[in-house]
Amino acid sequence: MAAPRYLGWDFSTQQLKVIAIDEQLRVIYEDNVHFDKDLPEFKTQGGVYIHSDRLTVTSPVLMWVKALDMILQKMKSSGFNFSQVRALSGAGQQHGSVYWKKGSIQILKNASSELPLHQSLKACFSVSNSPIWMDSSTASQCSALEKAVGGAQHLANITGSRAYERFTGNQIAKIYSQNPEVYLQTERISLVSSFAASLFLGAYAPIDYSDGSGMNLLHIWEKSWSASCLDACAPGLEEKLGCPVPSYSVLGPISPYYSQRYGFSPDCKVVAFTGDNPASLAGMRLQEGDIAISLGTSDTLFLWIQEPTPALEGHILCNPVDSQAYMALLCFKNGSLMRERIRDDCASGSWDEFSKALSSTVAGNNGNLGFYFDVMEITPEAVGIHRFNRDNQKVSDFPKEVEIRALIEGQFMAKRIHAEKLGYKVMPRTRILATGGASHNKKILQVLSDVFNAPVYTIDTANSACLGSAYRAIHGLVAETNVSLADVVKLAPEPRLAVTPTAGAEELYRPLLKRYAELEQKVVCSPTSSCL
């Protein structure tokens, strides 16, 4: 019996990626198709079309299908042995939607193995350019949805988020209001994740709970569609969405198309696909109490939460690996670009000098606190630079090394405060998994560790969504026997311990965190504030 293999797919914004792992979780194959470079006939930029209104952003669905044809052909030409694949799963960019035209189910099911899929499916989509997560053209639909269900907080209490322009329910509402005949011609609406699963299944794949949490349509506590949200978006929507399923569900065997054309075993199982961020949580092997912090252009927090409290910021999603738990996403727009601007102004553009400034200033910065938002921040909604001394008096500037520490302490205190507002609790077992550019700077990580009073580990997340999908393919085969993902992937390489908290950090930062939260109320935008 040839050694089993598991495939993880990632249908992301700019490329399609695939990873194959063996039973010891070693990566034995990886490949990608870059949409702009490898499929130039679609003329995308960064995998997307930004429309002339500068708000509408779409991607051509047939480009995603053709990319799959192309990558499978590349794998076949490289001699990849598909017959060893026991299971596959995948991820898709969250919130994007695919509209299957009436009658397409038969075409999908009976696609000829003599043809690439994109030829068979070329007339199957009632919307040829799918709306994706970068779209922000549905403000009026968002207002209507929040009004229909009793307000933003009520919508967040039901679906885990207030209304966001990129969320799928609002995108569907826009299509229904602007092109009702297109909507009526649509027999099925998929997310990018469930669309990709459908291609492998040869049937319409269900939406999973976790990616479904990014639609403003799923009741995240009951794990079913919210009738009030569906009705507020479009008529007869539930029938077009199908029933949502747990993210670790085995959907069925791979379509015969793949056995005939590529040599997949007919026993290869398709495990439900999910969103890229939930798949990354699996790839980072987050467990209860853990936080993953991606320190990139914007800083993103992935939290594993047992008892979430939905708020008007951030997103609560059903957890992709434990359907009794939840995950939260928090995005801080002023991330590495803010750190680089302060490095340039206060450390002559040198990270070494920046780090020396952190070393030469005391933890707690003698009570000096700062809020650094060169661009409009989303968590919280605020903009500008705001400095306060130990007596909470506004000051116009700090000495350079004090400015550097105020920036870093402020960024991490904001993360802890907003994570705890969503219901996250720092526990004795809490680990912080840091990734992204700043995670290579131990002085910055030391501040992170002290503010959270938790050890910081570094991990490589370059392919976390893909790897997480391959892990989930293995997990799906045993999930029914109550085996956890953590048990399934315990052979994976461990994250590397980088720093541990300084003694006394918790006592030092507790009063500072309280002050920071109070001062934040002074700088957030409000109907009467200077942000307008």
Binding stretches for ligand 5FX (CB under 6 A): 12-13, 93-95, 133, 166, 214, 275-277, 329
Contact 315, 356 (CB under 8 A): no
> Cβ-count burial of 478 within 10 angstroms (0-12 exposed, 13-18 middle, 19+ buried)?
middle
Distance, CA of 269 to CA of 253 (rounded, Å): 4
**210 and 163 in contact (C-beta within 8 Å)?**
no
Query: Minimal distance in Å, beta carbon 313 to ligand 5FX?
Result: 12
Least distance CB 398 / ligand 5FX (angstroms): 33
Identify which of residues 158 and 445 has a Cβ nearer to ligand 5FX in the complex: 158
Q: Which helix (H) or strand (E) holds 250?
A: strand 250-253
With CA atoms as reference, report the closest residue to 385 among 377, 373, 376, 394. Answer: 373
Considering beta carbons, is residue 94 or 190 the nearer one to ligand 5FX?
Answer: 94
* CB neighbour list of residue 450: distance below 8 Å, 6 or more residues apart: 363, 501, 502, 505, 508, 509
Q: Which is nearer to ligand 5FX, 94 or 446 (CB)?
A: 94
Q: How many CA atoms lie within 13 A of 37 on its CB side?
A: 6
- 336 burial (CB, 10 Å; 0-12 / 13-18 / 19+) is middle
Rounded least distance, CB 277 to ligand 5FX, Å: 5
Beta bridge partners of 191: 97
Choose between 18 and 357: whose C-beta lies nearer to ligand 5FX: 18
Query: Shortest approach of ligand 5FX to residue 294 CB, angstroms?
Result: 10
What are the CA-CA distances from residue 39 to residues 56, 66, 169, 177, 430 (Å)? Answer: 22, 8, 29, 32, 44
User: What is the enclosing helix (H) or strand (E) of 64?
Assistant: helix 61-77
Q: Report in angstroms how near the CB of residue 96 gets to ligand 5FX at its nearest.
A: 8
Say how many Å lie between the first and final Cα of the chain, rounded: 67
Residue 94 vs 323, nearer CB to ligand 5FX:
94
Region label for 276, one of left (φ > 0), alpha (ψ between -120 and 50) or beta (otherwise): alpha
Q: Which is nearer to ligand 5FX, 275 or 289 (CB)?
A: 275
Minimum CB distance to ligand 5FX smaller for 167 or for 372:
167
Q: 370 vs 380, which CB is nearer to ligand 5FX?
A: 380
Give the residue carrying structure tokens 């130990």.
390
Whose Cβ is closer to ligand 5FX: residue 44's or residue 453's? 44
Determine how β-strand 432-435 pairs with β-strand 291-295. parallel
| Cα–Cα distance for residue pair 128/391, rounded to 1 Å | 59
CB nearer ligand 5FX, residue 336 or residue 502 = 336
CB 275 → ligand 5FX: shortest distance, Å? Answer: 6
**237 strand-pairing partners:** none
In this structure, the chain runs to a length of: 532
Measured between alpha carbons, how far is residue 1 from residues 85, 102, 475 in Å? 12, 42, 21
What is the nearest approach in angstroms of ligand 5FX to the Cβ of residue 166? Answer: 6
Q: Which is nearer to ligand 5FX, 212 or 214 (CB)?
A: 214
Question: Residue 312 has what DSSP assignment?
Answer: S
